[in-house]
Chains A and B, each alone.
Chain A
Amino acid sequence: MSTTQTREKVSFTPKPAHNRAQRRTPSEWVLLAVAVIAGIAIFAPFGLIILNAFKSTQDYSSNGPLSWPTSFSVDAFVNYLGRVNFGQAFWNSVIISLLVAAIAVVLSLMSAYPLGVGRVKANGIVLAVLLVATMLPHEALIYPLFYGAQATGTFNTVWSVIIVFSVLQAAYGTYLLASVMGAIPKELIEAAQLDGASRWQILWKVLVPILRPSLAVLVVFFFIWTWNEFYIPVVLLADQSSQTIPIALATLRGQHNIDITVLNAGSLLSLLPTLVFFLLFQRTLVRGVAAGAVK
């Protein structure tokens, strides 16, 4: 973690002081304006959601989506919470995302071990097969999964989704961790072997501490990805009692007699948890995307 962090810092460190002290040219100000306008454009939909979630229905229908609220109203939130069992959906989302993040990381760790450190034969084949898992369209799995969930009694329970995503996320995680483990000096592992450590002990006591930054990145990613998933949960979690937050919002949208302000309030509530998570782990995430790419 520390090395990446320093690298990042170095990149942003303003070059020799004189450079910054120099007068900024007009063209540089224009470039800054371009970047800021792009930022505003990307943020605008979020701003609109916030603006309209706090309007009353009458205010919205008479003044439209672009006006400032005439008065601050939380009616839309109350209305949304009355229609959706938000507590239940929130709990389902939390349980699913947390368990998937935990299981998938342990699974990735275990399967990356023989590939990255053990260099087992058929290394390439195993990695290729896992790559296939990450590329397959979910459509090509969904109908059999739907049947499998019904046959095992996990349909309409959080467990079907937990099992499916633990494996799918672990396929990606294995890929990433195997390459990180491959870069760990062999001597370290040999030294631990000479000290009498078993394979299992080496994995947990030697490798896990070294890999902690990569593992943190994976946990954050797996959590957000699973939280936001749509296709497989919408099929496997048909019942309201097992729905996740995004699915609850999507099913509510299908109802005709619903106010835009209520949907705005629901959207705001649905994106808030990932937003908080994102703000807390922004650096980890950004580093993670980069690590995933460099591999």
Chain B
Amino acid sequence: MSNGLAPRLRRPSGYWLYLIPIFIGFLAVVGIPFGTNVYFSLFRWKGGAAPMRWNGLDNYVTLFADVEFWTSLRNSIFMVIAIVVIPTIIGLLLAALLTETIGRRFGPRIASFLRATYYLPQILPIAVAGFMWSWILDPSNGAINTFLQSVGAKGPDWLGNPDLAIYAVMLMLIWLQIGYPLVIFMAALSRVDPELYEAAALDGAGKWRQFRAISVPTIRPEIFIVVLTATVAALKVFAPILILTGGGPEGSTVVPSYYAYRNFFELSQVGYGSAISTVMALVIFAIAALMLWWQRRQEAQ
């Protein structure tokens, strides 16, 4: 019986059947909707039953000259700093601190307890996190300004000041993000043989030297993954902006995804919103592809 069945089983073609469900799902939820989104971007359309007027590439031409769109792209750089750059650096330092010093010298329990605390914001519904922070940052009865008042200082209107709001948003995003790189780096650091550190210490290398020469090189693959996924996430940031500032004040915190949302659901410019989100998708693909290509090249060397 086994002889009769085995050859049939080895036919690779039969495996294709298992891809049918995801293939259908992908078409229904990603493929066709994204194609339709690109199609919509070629029209002037208020949405719903309103007439669709062919617009060719005009939406894209308008987009290119749209100051608000360029502001939103510039703000994406702030998002990358708040979600990629700062949390990755702090995450690296804290992970090394927890594994090397605290885990080893004060016991693993304290280290895992602190790790869980840092990770806590990551499991929070973003609607809750957004509410928490808009209240903490509230100018009149928020926690920060109440505290400043009690020590005799007058706190600013964090989210209401166009020069300040983006930094207030960044503060929340850093708080939200830190646990992610930390947890990954801590797991990765467990690969390091403790004797390496001992040998380095005997050779007179201090903590900082050990961190630079042993910890960081060992977890390079994880650092890359964190930077890649966090960059994609930073370019997609939406909910924190909607909840904290609504893109304001004076458009100072608008990001591309929020700008698309506004065009879809508030300004009834569906064609234009589709053009924005299409460009956004292309920018994300381009940046991710570039990073992956760069990583491959590094590995090859």
- Interface set of A (CB-CB < 8 Å, partner B): 7-8, 10-15, 19-20, 24, 28, 31-32, 34-36, 38-39, 42-43, 45-46, 48-49, 64-66, 107, 110-111, 113-115, 117-121, 126, 129-130, 132-133, 135-145, 147-148, 163-164, 166-168, 170-171, 174, 193-196, 198-199, 203, 224, 227-228, 230-231, 235, 245-247, 249-250, 253, 260, 263-264, 267, 270-271, 274-275, 277-278, 282, 285-287, 289-290, 293-295
Contacts and interface: CB of A to CB of B under 8 A. Distances in A.
Interface stretch (B58-66, B105-113, B158-166, B210-218): B105-113
A7 to B, nearest CB: 6
Interface string B183-200: 110011110001000100
Interface string B1-21: 110011001101011101101
A133 B232 CA distance: 12
B221 interface: yes
17 contacts: A19-B104, A20-B104, A32-B102, A35-B114, A42-B120, A115-B19, A118-B15, A137-B260, A137-B280, A138-B236, A139-B264, A144-B32, A164-B29, A193-B10, A247-B127, A289-B180, A293-B225
Interface of A is mostly: helix
Given A31-B101, A253-B243, 11 more contacts: A39-B118, A48-B143, A143-B40, A144-B32, A174-B22, A196-B1, A230-B238, A231-B238, A245-B125, A271-B128, A293-B221
A278 B114 contact: no
A168 B29 CA distance: 8
B36 interface: yes
A133 B19 contact: no
Contacts of A174: 22
Interface in B198-250: 198, 221-222, 225-226, 232, 235-236, 238-239, 243
Contacts of B179: 42
A107 B21 CA distance: 7
A267 B131 contact: yes
Contacts of A263: 131, 135
A131 B47 CA distance: 30
B294 interface: no
5 closest A-B pairs by beta carbon, nearest first, are A11-B190, A290-B187, A12-B108, A118-B15, A114-B15
A119 B284 CA distance: 29
A263 B132 CA distance: 9
Contacts of A115: 19
Contact of A228 (B106, B125, B189): B125
Contacts of A147: 36
A203 B17 CA distance: 13
Given A196-B1, A289-B187, A46 B120 contact: yes
B175 interface: yes
Given A48-B143, A246-B128, A35 B94 contact: yes
A139 B187 contact: no
B126 to A, nearest CB: 5
Given A133-B26, A286-B115, A294-B221, A120 B12 contact: yes
Contact of A166 (B25, B178, B184, B277): B25
Contacts of B55: none
B121 interface: yes
A36 B107 contact: no
B168 interface: no
Contacts of B141: 64-65, 260
B179 to A, nearest CB: 8
Contact of B184 (A24, A121, A196, A289): A289
Contacts of B10: 193
A66 B125 CA distance: 24
Contact of A199 (B9, B47, B111, B117): B9
Contact of B112 (A12, A195, A224): A12
A120 B16 contact: yes
Contacts of A46: 120
Contacts of A285: 119, 123
A46 B119 CA distance: 13
